[in-house]
Structure 1
Amino acid sequence: MADPTHVLSDLRDEGEDLDERVSGLADSGWAMPTPAQGWTIAHQIAHLAATDRQALVAVTEPELFTARRDGALASPDSLDAYVNESAGQGAELPPTELLAQWRATRSALHAALAAQPPGARFPWFGPPMSTASMATGRLMETWAHGQDVVDTLGVRREPTARLRHVARIGVRTRDFAYAQRGLEPPTEEFRVELTSPDGELWAYGPEDAEQRVTGPALDLCLLATRRRHRADLALRAEGTDADQWLDIAQAFAGAPGTGREPRG
């Protein structure tokens, strides 16, 4: 069982980083449209607050979460509808109130996860999650929606070692990405070799695999969270299956959407 201590610390730091970027915005800044169609910066933070709240319920009241989830997911498109509805409701709040809600919720979630015994598992929108997996998923979401925020503000966010968690979930969701599109995943494992922000090699899969992906860890994270088009990234595939995966990689639940247009 993975020790969640490190990822919980990184989740806290990722949230604080994004918090600092939005806390000084005027109301007009919160209303700026982001690359996610129809979503402002307020929608991005509202979405994180809502999903952190859902995670908190899953951890502390799993039966209540399961009942709410099953009711919300009555149809194939209901998850996306729920996401948009909850983000829209939160975005209508005054920015100071929305930010306060997000801060309180993510603090409560961090405390709840840190208090869990070894081996604990919680229901979620996909398979049940361990403490480390839940924290990793929340970090991935925070980082991805934070990317939309910094893109909107026109600032560059320095990549950190926290990307290891995002990269790992991007690799581990390979078969999920195929399933989301009704495709049969490859039977053999891929070798994925990524260069970390510090120049370290992050490697996944057997060294002798014929299907291989190499490139910057940041680029795989941007691809798997569908924040950049593949054409704008320095990822290289060796093998037909690996090449196909780079076209469909997806690390988050829900429909893949249309993705982002190439920036050139």
Structure 2
Amino acid sequence: MSNPVIADLAAESDQLDGWVAGLDDAGWQTVTTPEGWTVAHQVAHLLWTDRASLAAIAGGEEWELLERVAQQDPTGFVDSETERLVEIAPQSLLHHWRDSRQRLADALEAVPAGSKIAWFGPPMSATSMATARHMETWAHGQDVAEALGIDVPRTDRVRNVCHLGVRTRGFAYLMRGLEAPDAEVRVELTGPSGEQWTWGPEGAENRVTGDAWDFALLATRRRHRVDVDVRAEGEAADGWLDVVQTFAGLPGNDPLPLAER
């Protein structure tokens, strides 16, 4: 694959595939979230989003239908579609997800440079869509791994998740009905390999520093602030870490500290 983000998405998907492929039917029903999503729900959600992304890239009637469904039920249509797909038998569900993610990788590679893809929010480039898909696969993979007792290998692919967490700073405030502070934030994170990743102006008074993997867990709302090695300097930086989120849509319930779970 010529696009490294698409390659990262494929690797993340293959890793999750390896965790679930050998599960029996009972294993697929393992609960992975406080809301009751099972392993099957996690894969069904990824399958649906792959198919929605393919429809968006292709355009036409299927995408127009998805837009109408989203307009009719903006806060619940994704969960409704997940519930529909989770009725598929586990091995068939896995087969469909393998097919959808390969077709999506091929479709993203074929998007002309400079083109924008329609989405439920602002249009995005192929790389931005691949970044969003990688973030979702990484986050849902954390849910599955934690429920199954799997120790997740820490790789520098997590940089994509961190990048999205930084880029969506203003959006995170918007989703809570808040106004983002008019202040630049410098972000300095250490990746699993020890590489340093930075965003924002070097001289900014507000700073976020720490472990990249932990920042990704915080930004995907898989961990509470008290459980991550991420630090804030300055009021704007500190307030951002209370609302940071990588994904579109409402933030949902705040994660509990690990000591209270």
Could you say whether these structures have the same fold, taking a TM-score greater than 0.5 normalized by the shorter chain as the test? yes
* Per-residue Cα deviation, 1:52-84 (whole angstroms, up to 9, x for no partner): 10001001125641442133223xxx2331121
Please give the per-residue CA displacement for 1:102-134, whole angstroms capped at 9, x wherever unaligned: 011111111111111111111111110101001
Equivalent residue in structure 1 for 2:28, among 4, 27, 30: 30
Q: TM-score, normalised by structure 1?
A: 0.95
Matched AA of 2:48? A
**Cα deviation 1:151-186 (Å, max 9, x = unaligned):** 100111011111111100000000000111111111
Does the C-alpha gap of structure 1 residues 63 and 220 become closer, same or farther in structure 2, counting only changes over 3 Å? farther
Does the aligned pair in 2 maintain the 1:62–1:122 contact within 8 Å? no
Contact 2:32/2:143, CA 8 A, preserved across alignment: yes
The RMSD of aligned alpha carbons is: 1.4
* Conservation of the 8 A alpha-carbon contact between 2:21 and 2:94: yes
CA distance in 1 between counterparts of 2:94 and 2:81 reads: 15
Other-structure match for 2:4: 6
Contact 1:44 1:149 in 2 (8 A): yes
Q: Secondary structure at the match of 1:143?
A: helix
CA distance in 2, matches of 1:9, 1:206: 29
Q: Which amino acid aligns with 2:153?
A: E
1:142 to 130, 134, 137: 137
The separation in 2 between residues aligned to 1:187 and 1:231, in whole angstroms, is 26
Moved more, 64-73 or 36-45: 64-73
Q: Distance in 2 between matches of 1:149 and 1:160?
A: 17
Asked whether the equivalents of residues 36 and 148 of structure 1 are also in contact (C-alpha less than 8 Å), the reply is: no
**Which residues of structure 2 form unaligned runs of 5+?**
none
The aligned residue for residue 68 of structure 1 is 66
Cα distance in 2 for partners of 1:205, 1:239 equals 14
1:39 correspondence with 2:34: no
* CA distance in structure 2 between the partners assigned to 1:182 and 1:138 by the alignment: 25
Matched ranges for 1:4-153 at <5 A: 5-61=3-59, 64-74=62-72, 78-153=73-148
Alignment size in residue pairs = 259
Number of the residue aligned with 1:232:
227
Quick one: structure 1 residues 129 and 182, their matched pair in 2 at CA, closer, same or farther if it must change by over 3 Å?
A: same
SS at match of 1:159: coil
Q: Give the unaligned 5+ runs of structure 1.
A: none
SS in 1 for 2:210: strand
Amino acid at match of 1:19: D
Length-normalised TM-score, structure 2: 0.96
**4+ residue runs over 3 A deviation:** none
